[in-house]
Amino acid sequence: MAIQTVGIVGAGQMGSGIAHVFALAGYDVLLNDVNADSLSKGLDTIRRNLERQASRGKITEAERDAALARIRTTLTLAELGPTDLVIEAATERETVKQAIFDALLPHLKPETILTSNTSSISITRLASRTDRPEKFMGFHFMNPVPVMQLVELIRGIATDQPTYDALLEVVGRLGKTAASAEDFPAFIVNRILVPMINEAVYTLYEGVGNVRSIDEALKLGANHPMGPLELADFIGLDTCLAIMNVLYDGLADSKYRPCPLLTKYVEAGWLGRKTQRGFYDYRGETPVPTR
């Protein structure tokens, strides 16, 4: 299963980051999105991040230019059909992901490996809707992709060993480290991380501390580089809520009940950095707590 060409669905923060690291590792990348502006912004992000790496001496200017030359874009999903590996990095909604795979299937080569960058949704269930559940895996990158070293590899119940081995080799070529996870809600990282964030929101909701005191407590008391509420804003409060709902629905344990305050922020459209307001207000020069 030699992989040389990679199709990526979704040119947002995750998709553009994944395209960046694959192109830098020597893969030919075809980046797809339904929105031309998103594709343009994704390419601009990749260009800026590669430029930053070159200016800091982490890559050469020749490597920067070669990586950019390996990335093509398309608004037509079917054009990803001839690629060796497809990585779906669309929004964290199962119906959207299923629709993407349904549209892709008629155009794929028989040997193409399908993957999802989902942070929480069942790989087995997504795979079961395709014609190749044995060649389907979870391929979960951490944000920001060019910086974070971990990739979670999640096998569905039908995933075969050659598919796993092929993706393990890809992770090595990217210069990253793989953690193998079983296909249970939220896998490893988010199974541990997002309930911690949810508990921080409960701590805020119950008045135990305010936004600043909670974040300072975890940064200085547990040596975390970011406080949990600051991190929630970085991830996106809608994503945090979606993961908590997957955990709550999938494991039927009350300890995974999303905090009502998290739900309220999402209802308000205060989703964190991407909307300029979440647990902090980012519209000024410095972030200001909203509670």
Neighbours of 215 (CB within 10 A): 24
43 vs 11: CA distance, rounded Å: 8
163 touches 113 (CB < 8 A): yes
Reading phi first (left if > 0) and then psi (alpha if -120 to 50, else beta), residue 281 is in beta
Rounded Cα distance between 153 and 139, Å, is: 5
- Cβ neighbours, 10 Å, residue 264: 13
**Token reading at 76:** 């037509």
**One of 32, 117, 119, 198 is an active-site residue; which one?**
119
Number of neighbours of residue 36 by Cβ within 10 angstroms? 11
171-174 contacts, C-beta under 8 A, 24 or more apart? 173/25, 173/26, 174/21, 174/22, 174/25
119 is catalytic: yes
Q: Which of 32, 38, 49, 190 is catalytic?
A: 190
Give the span between the Cα atoms of 100 and 76, in whole angstroms. Answer: 11
- What tokens were used for 277? 């307001």
**What six digits make up the tokens of 243?**
């993961």
Active-site residue, 245 included: no
Catalytic-labelled residue, pool 16, 49, 122, 140: 140
Residue of 88, 92, 152, 230 with catalytic role: 152
Taking alpha carbons only, the member of 131, 145, 137 closest to residue 85 is 137
Sign of the torsion angle spanned by Cα atoms 238, 244, 245, 247 = positive
Q: With contact defined as beta carbons under 8 Å apart, do 46 and 16 qualify?
A: yes
Residues recognised as catalytic = 119, 140, 152, 190
